[in-house]
Amino acid sequence: MDSKCATCHGEDGRAHTEQGTEMGIDDMTKAAYWKDVTVERARKSVSEGIKRTVNGKEQEMKPFWRSPDAQQVDALNLYAVSFFKK
């Protein structure tokens, strides 16, 4: 997981990586990142991946697993939430 996620999101979720900066990935430690995140949207992002343009930057995240089960997806999303700092 670390090598796949950390490439863009960084080991601390701040996205202060070359790839994260290039794609304009938001900082997962900030409230702004989480304001529009829902459980279903987070599950879909992990299960199906993301391909979008945000502020003129192409963002692509491939699905984490080919056939993830709900527990794996939820565990990954719980890990991501652990980056949020109030």
Average pLDDT estimate for 7-24: 96
Mean pLDDT, the chain, whole residue set? 90
> What Cα–Cα distance (Å) separates residue 75 from each residue in 45, 48, 53?
14, 16, 27
Residue pair 85/29 in contact (Cβ under 8 Å)? The answer is yes
* pLDDT tens, residue by residue, 5-15: 999 999 999 99
φ, ψ at 80 (rounded to 5°)? -60, -40
The pLDDT value recorded for residue 73 is 86
The pLDDT value recorded for residue 67 is 67
* pLDDT tens, residue by residue, 43-71: 999 889 999 999 999 999 998 776 668 88
The pLDDT value recorded for residue 64 is 79
φ, ψ at 54 (rounded to 5°)? -130, 125
Please give the model's pTM, rounded to 2 decimal places: 0.82
